Structure 1
């Protein structure tokens, strides 16, 4: 009673994975990004850590 189920989304995922394996050797190497752009993920992560640890300004509604 085993049915082989292969959905369209699974097919798209397999094609995407295959393209990730095949395309890098075919494409020319890209130049490195500007130095300022390298700090964007660091700034975003710093902001998220800052937001995680600041106290909430919501009043408590405990009875």
Structure 2
């Protein structure tokens, strides 16, 4: 198969996954993200404490990844007896 046909299949798949409205929304959102920073006035920098929020969130996520499970052999069942 040539690369051209593969490219056409990928485009057809994108049209199947995303509808016309969602594609228009993504295009408008992309244009807004490109134009609005040029039009709007510059904002002052945030307080220093807010600059640490993404760092703390990332630290928490890394700790979650490397922490061990407390009950590794626990099995969950959906049996309910009244």
Q: TM-score, normalised by structure 2?
A: 0.63
1:27 paired residue number: 40
| Structure ranking higher in helix proportion | 2
Deviation at 1:51, TM superposition (A): 1.1
Q: TM-score, normalised by structure 1?
A: 0.80
- Structure 2 residues without counterparts, runs of 5 or longer: 1-14, 75-82
Q: How many residue pairs align between the two structures? A: 57
2:9 paired residue number: none
Residue among 31, 40, 49 paired with 1:18: 31
SS at match of 2:71: coil
